[in-house]
Structure 1
């Protein structure tokens, strides 16, 4: 179905896509939802896409929302890539997790505990850092 054909219809799975677009624990799920919602030119789908454009912690999701909105004829600007912490207070969060582990724990144990306790933090940084995520996290872990 082309964008023109979908002018005034919501996707049949709109509610599910809306939930997926806002799932803080999975940037991939948000990205997939943005891609799907971008095929539907309705006020509700545009609203969800604008929210992701302006509020997502992962720049790749923001970029996808921007491109979909442009394809739908919306006058939007691509936000600049965030510098500094993606999530406020991330250092405190990571210190707390490290302190909760026994002395001499491994990086892998730290990484697993972060994933279990704060999947939102893990996911945001994994999405933003991509292939460099493990290297970055290990460096941060060693410096805490």
Structure 2
């Protein structure tokens, strides 16, 4: 019987792969934010690439900021992210009108909010992450202003 060679598991690589996956999960801004923070603590060649992608392309401003800070700590020079002007999701008003129309005429704001979260968790997550404490106020104002 031949002896099989045991290949050691590189825990740092496994952790990197898991964090990279979390950093790219579009429907969970909290998980992406935590992954960005943890990636900055790893000693891995490809961490900077993942953080650059988040700093430049994430739809949620606090994640872009966190990735920028981690890159700065690593000595990687990237432009400081700016808060996006206008709609974060193309066609957001049209999407929200469609959701509002799908509900009974006498629905509440809470009904609308729940349906948005159920139907488009990615959109809900993007705005919740970007707006922070102002999310409910923003969404309720949007809901009240929608014409159906």
Q: Give TM-score, length-normalised by structure 1.
A: 0.89
The equivalent of 1:130 in structure 2 is 132
Q: 1:39 aligns with which of 20, 38, 41?
A: 41
- Conserved in 2, the CA contact under 8 Å of 1:25 and 1:123? yes
The equivalent of 1:102 in structure 2 is 104
- Conserved in 1, the CA contact under 8 Å of 2:40 and 2:71? yes
The equivalent of 1:27 in structure 2 is 29
- Conserved in 1, the CA contact under 8 Å of 2:16 and 2:42? no
TM superposition outliers: structure 1 runs of 4+ over 3 Å: 9-12
- Conserved in 2, the CA contact under 8 Å of 1:11 and 1:40? no
Matched residue SS, 2:86? coil
The equivalent of 1:116 in structure 2 is 118
Q: Shift in Å at residue 56 of structure 1?
A: 0.6
Q: Shift in Å at residue 33 of structure 1?
A: 0.3
The alignment yields a C-alpha RMSD, in angstroms, of 1.3
The equivalent of 2:56 in structure 1 is 54
Q: Shift in Å at residue 12 of structure 1?
A: 3.2
The equivalent of 2:8 in structure 1 is none
Alpha-carbon spacing, 1:41–1:78, altered in 2? closer, same or farther (3 Å): farther
Give distance in 2, aligned partners of 1:58 and 1:130: 10
Larger Rg: 2
Give distance in 2, aligned partners of 1:105 and 1:12: 47
Unmatched runs of 5 consecutive residues or more in structure 1: 1-8
Q: Give TM-score, length-normalised by structure 2.
A: 0.87
Alpha-carbon spacing, 1:96–1:90, altered in 2? closer, same or farther (3 Å): same
Unmatched runs of 5 consecutive residues or more in structure 2: 1-10
Q: Shift in Å at residue 41 of structure 1?
A: 4.0
